[in-house]
Chain A
């Protein structure tokens, strides 16, 4: 009976011991009665064109730079009114509703400290929270979670919606991953049979697989958050499903409270017209995802802040293929029931040739880290010194922004 001596079980079990600490049970006690804040970051990968998302209609140079891409041009849908003469892209109707309800703030002319134009390096800086590229050891969201552990103020343990943990969430604090997508799911009974096999043969795989089944159950609960008649494609979007799952896990009594999710499709070098499927598709997905998140959070929405960030913006002028190339400053959002919204926050640099960064990009006037530091301080209770020392090292000049939350 060779299998009795089979070494698999013993060795693998030892290795899998680490797994218990990596479950989504709370790692740190919650010590703030009555408050249970949730914080989700949405990374828009590819460089979102802030000027096409929140259009500075009041700027006399805008029309010149963006003829053909402006909202309402060529009979396309008009922009949705925001404060100070900005217009929101009509694809973002849910976000506009949140804005009108005072639950969305739009920040313009925002940039991370990164000043070149590589997606790869720009995302490194955006996620590592470091002032320079190449520091890929850990991410700012994970380091922020480590601060929570010390303060004991918020339940910790991270959530990464996606197949692996992105840089922003890498580090010492444990993280659970979940991703929609993949091939057609196996039937429940087949999964149960495999589970029975693991229980009989390999406790470590059994423990992992049962946790996976548990997550599937959470994913399958509740109503479809999207209203009937919504676009079928959006319903099947892995981002929208991921946002819905984030809301469910954030609502679970033992679930994580800090998370990240990403959405691709912002690298609009061509075909960026407002009615086009290029930028428009990404915007619709973002908007539907916000609706799904809010619906699945239910009343927990009021304890939630969502930051929406991207690695850089795009050129002010259009290129020859109805699109824009890699640029610098752009738009960021804070959304959620805990946000003091209904505002556009912008120290507007202007779009005249002389006002542009390096003669081509929207000039950054707000450091993205100021927004994030303000939100982390006021929502999660991380003090300013820790934010500057541990979460965003080298960000002394970027003071946390005040008054972002209710």
Chain B
């Protein structure tokens, strides 16, 4: 019983969005099957009701043009008195759209009966991260990027996700590929413009083979050359805001990356580079290492990384099979909890545990104050993911403050002791039971459960 009890908690925490009062009962019969079944028969359907990125970019352009027109009054003429209002209205449009996207993400997590899918979404969105701080363009489509380039592939193929990411305007804008020109391309020559290596570098360093794969600066430059011309369709294009390969910007020639030569061939040259990178053994190891660190922790044995990497390679980057290998591994269930959950995850876990819908703005604000602004990491490396990244002393104090405030809002939450007994089942430890009983108020008792090691550390 004891081991199954622990496993029922592990199934919900390590491979889910945290404990649910009903989760212990659901997971304890067969904890592993409880997780694995979530991966089966899943197909993402976008039920957000939110516009696709092309539409969002179109609307943003309309706003930006209006602001520009209001600003650009001819010299000598009075400023358009309405200019600041137009600017405000545009900012408002961007803000409301961002809130709607956050709301969709949070509500999806709140009600999900496939929490492992939500965790995978978060993992892959972090792996292929973008940042709203880059520009308005990225900010307006940050949520759409996740809906379009990440979610459909979390139990699909790595190569497909990589392709979708590399063709998405959010990534092309975030890492500047939309302003990268082949220096010897027609447009590069005419406009005297050159290479921007940003996406080429991160494609190797972060997205695929990883920084220790032994590639050279020349490999980075060649990768960047190969993907010149991959950009976003402009206003004059029949489909503005979509991916557009512009041959006039594409660097002509054959280029070698990590020992393999890619013959000149327009956009196909880049797709062949992605094929090579997606199947490179270093990519399998890099992805496996990140998955294991994210789900199991810093101390996970290297043998586990090897096994997951092998499965990734055997299945040609089938992410369902790769994830199964991770969940199937005995180490996944025996490695002790060591990872303090991220603030965003904590807020979601609290919301699910108390079954009280958190206001999206409140959650986003909490995560921001805690240093995890949604879709806005400070660098392309994404948010830190080591075990204690979010365990700063000052941050743990703030977690408790938040847990108290949130518990006080959750008017319909169950009685604290009932909640603890249902949630932890046979794994309820006496010290937690004592602390819950000692709490001076109902919200404090609930906050104590939220702050317990069983919730905070996975």
Contacts and interface: CB of A to CB of B under 8 A. Distances in A.
Contacts of A182: 366, 369-370, 398, 401-402
B357 interface: no
A209 B400 CA distance: 10
Interface in B423-451: 426-427, 429-432, 434-435, 438-440, 444, 447-448, 451
B393 A209 contact: yes
Contacts of B79: 320-322
A205 interface: yes
A186 B402 CA distance: 9
B378 A208 contact: no
Contacts of A176: 392-393
Interface stretch (B16-24, B278-286, B330-338): B330-338
A321 B83 contact: yes
A270 interface: yes
A185 interface: yes
A176 B392 CA distance: 8
Contact of B84 (A163, A197, A322): A322
B133 A120 contact: yes
A197 B299 contact: no
Tell me the interface secondary structure of chain B in the complex: helix
A11 to B, nearest CB: 3
Interface residues of B, number: 75
A179 B381 contact: no
Contacts of B438: 193
Given A11-B338, A163-B371, A213 B397 contact: yes
B435 A120 contact: no
A119 B388 contact: no
Contact of A208 (B70, B299, B396, B444): B396
A227 to B, nearest CB: 27
A215 interface: yes
Contacts of B395: 163, 177, 212
B84 A271 contact: yes
Contacts of B440: 189-190, 193
Contact of A15 (B70, B298, B434): B298
B439 A320 contact: no
A164 interface: yes
A8 B371 contact: no
Given A8-B453, A12-B457, A120-B133, A184 B401 contact: yes
Interface string B367-380: 00111100000111
Tell me the interface secondary structure of chain A in the complex: helix
Contacts of B439: 190, 193
B5 interface: yes
A271 B134 CA distance: 23
A124 B198 CA distance: 13
A185 B401 CA distance: 5
User: Which of A12, A270, A321, A322 is the most central at the interface, judged by chain B CB atoms within 10 Å of its CB?
Assistant: A12
B448 A197 contact: yes
Nearest to B9: A6
User: Which of B370, B379, B380 is the most central at the interface, judged by chain A CB atoms within 10 Å of its CB?
Assistant: B379
Contact of A166 (B299, B378, B426): B378
A12 B453 contact: yes
B391 interface: yes
Given A120-B133, A321-B83, A6 B429 contact: yes
Interface in A172-200: 176-179, 181-186, 189-191, 193-194, 196-198, 200
Nearest to B211: A137
User: Which of A124, A205, A210 is the most central at the interface, judged by chain B CB atoms within 10 Å of its CB?
Assistant: A205
Identify the 4 closest CB pairs spanning chains A and B, nearest first: A11-B336, A320-B71, A163-B371, A164-B371
24 contacts: A3-B427, A7-B336, A8-B457, A15-B387, A16-B391, A118-B134, A133-B198, A162-B371, A177-B394, A177-B395, A179-B369, A179-B371, A179-B394, A183-B366, A185-B397, A193-B435, A193-B444, A194-B400, A200-B434, A200-B435, A201-B431, A205-B456, A216-B397, A270-B87
Interface of A: 1-3, 5-8, 10-12, 14-16, 18-19, 118-120, 124, 133-134, 136, 162-164, 166-167, 176-179, 181-186, 189-191, 193-194, 196-198, 200-202, 205, 208-216, 269-271, 319-322
Interface of B: 1-3, 5-6, 67, 70-73, 79-80, 83-84, 87, 131, 133-135, 197-198, 201, 297-299, 334-338, 366, 369-372, 378-381, 384, 387-388, 391-398, 400-402, 404-405, 426-427, 429-432, 434-435, 438-440, 444, 447-448, 451-454, 456-457
